[in-house]
Amino acid sequence: MKTAARAAIGFAVFCGLVFLNNTSLFTPLAGGKPVLLAHRGLAQQFDNKDLRNDTCTAARMLPPTHPYLENTLASMRASFAAGADWVELDVHPTIDGHFAVFHDWTLDCRTEGKGVTREHSLAALKQLDVGYGYTADGGKTFPFRGKGVGLMPSLDEVLAAFPAQGLVINVKSRDPNEGVLLAAVLARLAPQQLGRLIVYGGDEPVAQVRARVAGVRTASRSSLKSCLFRYVAYGWTGIVPAACERSAVLVPINVAPWLWGWPGRFQARMQAAGSMAVLIGPYHGGGFSTGIDSAEDVARLPPGWSGGVWTNELEAVAALLKKK
């Protein structure tokens, strides 16, 4: 047999083995319902056209359809009641050693307060009205003003209120010391509760949490890039990169079909690595995507998908998933 023929046969055998190692024909999805991760929980929606990092989204609120404000205990309770399995929240350290649960880096947009959130005490933050700045008509009316006084919770309060629910904690800074402080808070929790937490956000603080708290899943922009790029490079072998372990692996829904073993084997590999595969909205370049927020997005979910689904439209997507 000629060398070229042997090479062709060898290549064909190699391709066949790669196919067999990555096809989901023999590893179908186990079925069950998707795990719904509600970004911001039940929150006031806003016009998201031409957003920048410093855009005051409370000032471009859409007409309210419910009474809840993001990052409040009432919103989180309502989110779980509306079908969320996990609720995302945002944290900032305070000058008196606590963590406040609030979205913005500064207070000026949503509250009557001024300045950087993390430069205040928790006691001072709790005096603020977190509904103060919301308006849907350019500042003519403020339907939540006066209704959000004292509603900014501490992280301790959230953890105590939802010990059995899934919580996704967003660290807003890139300060490694914030990760050290957060790790100290989480280290006091029972292993069962740690298993229902995901910490994501800035690379440096998330790395500190990951190094110090073994039972919690983590994700950051750099870890997700490393996970997916390395999985594309050699995931065909069945080896899961270390960057994918003990993580929430966020995958744009238009990128997912190109991953080795998609969908059944990919999900099984992530589960075996202690991770949750989470589908997010389509990636179109220029940054990461948003969420699974429309009927079109939901229709693209693989039949039997029981991994995570990240959404900004909790009520609408929960209803669509019930019908799927």
- The 10s digit of each residue's pLDDT in 24-33 is 665 666 668 8
Q: Is the pLDDT of residue 84 over 70?
A: yes
Alpha-carbon distance 303 to 215, whole Å?
30
Q: Which amino acid is at 153?
A: P
pLDDT at residue 322, as a whole number: 87
Q: Is the pLDDT of residue 306 over 60?
A: yes
Alpha-carbon distance 126 to 153, whole Å?
7
pLDDT at residue 11, as a whole number: 47
Q: Is the pLDDT of residue 213 over 80?
A: yes
Classified as helix, coil or strand, 139 is coil
Q: Would you list the domain boundaries of the chain? A: 45-215, 219-324
Alpha-carbon distance 168 to 154, whole Å?
15
- The 10s digit of each residue's pLDDT in 216-235 is 999 999 999 999 999 999 99
Region of residue 158 (left: phi > 0; alpha: psi -120 to 50; beta: else): alpha
The fold for domain 45-215 equals: TIM Barrel (3.20.20)
Question: Which range (52-66, 85-99, 266-280) has the least confidence?
Answer: 52-66
Strands 166-171 and 276-280, sheet pairing? unpaired
Residues near 74 by beta carbon (within 8 Å), at least 6 away in sequence: 68, 151
Q: What are phi and psi of 19, to 5 degrees?
A: -60, -50
Helices (H), the chain: 3-22, 73-81, 122-125, 155-161, 176-186, 191-194, 203-212, 221-234, 264-272, 295-299, 314-323
- Would you say 263 and 235 are in contact if contact means Cβ atoms under 8 Å apart? no
> In the chain, what percentage of residues exceed pLDDT 90?
83
Q: What are phi and psi of 319, to 5 degrees?
A: -65, -40
